[in-house]
Chain A
Amino acid sequence: MNLFKKKIIPEQSTGISFTKKRIRWDDFFAEKIIKGVAFLSIAIIVLIFFFVFRESVPIFTSNSKADKAKADSSKVNIAPVSKTEKQETYGAESNDSSPKQEQYGVTTEDKDQKQEQYGVTTEEPQKQEQYGVQTNDEPKQEQYGVQTAEDTTDKLANKEIKTENPSVETKTEDNNKNALATLKSKDWQPVSDNPRYGILPLLIGTLKVTLISILFAGPLAILAALYTAVFANKRMKEIIKPAIEMLAGFPSVVIGFFALMVIASVLQSVFHYSSRLNAFVGGIAMGLAAIPVIFTIAEDAISSVPKTYYEASLALGANKWQTAFFVMLPAATPGIFAALLLGIGRVFGETMIALMATGNAALMGLNPFESVRTLAATIGAEMAEVVFGDTHYNVLFLIGSMLFIFTFALNAFAEFYVKGHLIKRIQGK
């Protein structure tokens, strides 16, 4: 509003001086404060980036000396000490069960998946090998024995021991260095005696889910947007548009719940795959979350195509649908592209649906009916029980900053490139 730019100069008809302005302090301060507060939203973005990234920095810097000293001391001390120390943290956090427990919680509904997940957590044989190498301490052997004994009998007992095992085996190596080296590996096994933080399976899982959900939500939302913007009469439009935008008001945990309870069962009975919760179910559920985003922006883009385009096309003898598909849609392409990008951003960072409906197993395969573990879900599931300042903690923050950078770039791209393009195209330049 540049209407305010001109200062209104009160009665100075005496003609003394026009340059002498009375400073109104309340006005002055109000403006400064408002400007300062508004500026804070930029500051928040910077702060978010800074603080999320800051926590992940220790992976890159080699503060290995302190770690080594710690590791050495724990090596010298016998296992029980480190055990109690570790157990404390686990005990304190026992409210939020570990990701493994969660997997079990999910799988109690289905036997097939249970088997699969057992197959996934192949740390056990490896662990056994290492035990074989390092079996100098008696307590460890004991535990190993217990594990194999219980393995077949009781799942719950097995679970407990499994979560305890890594705590007995405190990381005896320089973890930070290791972490950086294992980032590119193919396993995500943060809680084991030889932790590996391979984010590749998580990345593949995320991309898989994103692809499925965009393939589901994209066409559906764009066609619906086309109908609302071109074909629908005014009354229909006033019903359909708010109705679809209602979907944006569904909390993601509710959509996740619906996916877990209903979509998973329905899709399984249709497609007959083995694991009940998988990338496909998660993708469809996240598609539901992405539909209102894509729909709203795409509808805006199609509606903002000038009416003259529409009329000119009709005047040239084209049908309504020809106009819609060969005139309106191409003219709005950049906007629709932006809609899809923002939809991708929404799905990429979706946490609760991923936690509840994708099965949460870090697999590498490309089969859409396998369980997957997405980046965001990994943070959500594991952050609650990591030890503060641990390598695992830092890696989770690293994943967080990756997510942040990705969505930031996506948004910036949609904002500057696509919108500039759209304006140019519509103005015919």
Chain B
Amino acid sequence: MIKNRKIDIKGFVIEGLTLSSALFIIAIIIFMLVVIINGGKSAFSWEFLSTFPREGMTKGGIFPAIYGTALLVIIMSIAAVPFGTITAIYLTEYAKENSFLSRSIRFAVRTLAVIPSIIFGLFGLGFFIKFVGVKMDNVFLGGALKWGQPNVLWASLTMALLTLPVVIVAVEEALKTIPRELREASLALGATKWQTIRRVVIPGSLSGIMTGTILAVSRGAGEVAPILFTGAAYYLATLPHALSDQFMVLGYHIYVMTTQSANVDQTLPIQFGTTCVLLLLTFTLNIFAIILRYRIRKKKIN
């Protein structure tokens, strides 16, 4: 027997170490999910999802927070998705691969992705509220305070900046999967470049745009720091009905309930319930995006 290999204990241990660290991370994720869902189960009911907070936020539901989150996410998508899609189109279709402009745009996008979210909050406060908003008030309303204060529009735009790189990266990836032959065929048939993009490239990348939107929504729904001082409110008795209103958000609601409320223990079920709702929301969106992305990648291989 030449193949008398001795068992490599050292290798076994080392490989086991790397495997166990990977499994440890996954175990933490599952543990987090289980704890939060388990804790939130008791609070979870239709009433919890559809009513206002009552009795100084110690009872009742989280409907305004859900509504506010949806509003935030929708306005944010309206701003971020077209913007991100166009930037991605420029990067893949127009820009020369290694030109200075395209490299700087890529660098800017990556920088946007790593800037701490609190900086976006500061920017929203300094630019949207104190600069644009105050200017708008001075010009249109003669100094009356309407736009120069935190509201849902400024919060959504701030959030749009934060989620912009997410959209750009996802759309760019989808655009790259469109075969070169399709573009060439379109051009060969006499279509112009813009016609090609509009009729061939964009329809082909719709699933990518979709992925980008979902990921952006999931990110935007979960972030709190950018809206801390650009529009999120502690408690509101009414739903926001104009762009210049403040609003409640799930994430901020969690933060407020856990650290700022007077009786933390009493509201524990609500805290767990709210966290559970937020987690399930972002989690489902993420899984959805992963499936979509997987299908896009598969298409690329075929």
Contacts and interface: CB of A to CB of B under 8 A. Distances in A.
A219 B193 contact: no
A384 B271 CA distance: 22
Nearest to B35: A262
A309 interface: no
A427 B286 CA distance: 36
B190 A231 contact: no
A400 interface: yes
A257 B192 contact: no
Contact of A105 (B25, B121, B262, B287): B262
Contact of B93 (A4, A41, A249): A4
A355 B192 contact: no
A216 B136 CA distance: 48
A240 B26 contact: yes
A383 B108 contact: no
Nearest to A342: B114
Contacts of B292: none
Given A4-B93, A220-B25, A227-B22, A352 B224 contact: yes
Nearest to A5: B96
B221 A246 contact: no
Q: Kindly state the interface size class of chain B when it binds its partner.
A: 35 or more
B114 A2 contact: no
B36 A251 contact: no
B200 interface: no
Contact of B127 (A31, A47, A262, A324): A47
Interface stretch (B8-16, B43-51, B60-68, B203-211): B8-16
Interface string A22-38: 00101100110111011
B247 to A, nearest CB: 13
B105 A52 contact: no
B29 interface: yes
Contacts of B271: 257, 261
A48 B18 contact: no
Interface string B123-138: 1011100110000000
A353 to B, nearest CB: 10
B279 A105 contact: no
Contact of B279 (A27, A96, A254, A411): A254
A42 B105 contact: yes
Instruction: Pick the most buried of B22, B24, B101, B188: most chain A CB atoms within 10 A of its CB.
Output: B22
Interface string B202-244: 0000000000000000100111110011000111000000000
Contacts of B17: 223
A242 interface: yes
B164 interface: yes
A249 B218 contact: yes
Majority secondary structure, A binding face: helix
A251 B168 CA distance: 20
B25 A244 contact: yes
Interface string A212-232: 000000011101101110111
Contacts of B127: 47-48, 51
A41 B271 CA distance: 37
Return the 9 tightest CB-CB contacts between A and B, nearest first. Answer: A349-B116, A251-B222, A38-B90, A227-B18, A249-B286, A224-B22, A223-B21, A351-B225, A95-B234
13 contacts: A39-B101, A41-B112, A48-B119, A231-B19, A244-B22, A251-B221, A253-B224, A257-B275, A320-B15, A321-B11, A321-B15, A356-B255, A383-B229
Interface of B: 8, 10-11, 14-15, 17-19, 21-22, 24-26, 28-29, 32, 35-36, 39, 83, 86-87, 89-97, 101, 104-105, 107-112, 114-123, 125-127, 130-131, 161, 164, 168, 180, 183-184, 187-188, 190, 192-195, 197, 218, 221-225, 228-229, 233-235, 251-252, 254-255, 258-262, 264, 271-272, 275, 278-279, 282-283, 285-287, 290
Given A8-B187, A55-B126, A320-B11, 16 more contacts: A3-B183, A27-B193, A38-B94, A40-B83, A51-B123, A54-B126, A55-B130, A105-B264, A224-B25, A227-B22, A258-B32, A295-B25, A322-B11, A349-B119, A355-B259, A383-B121
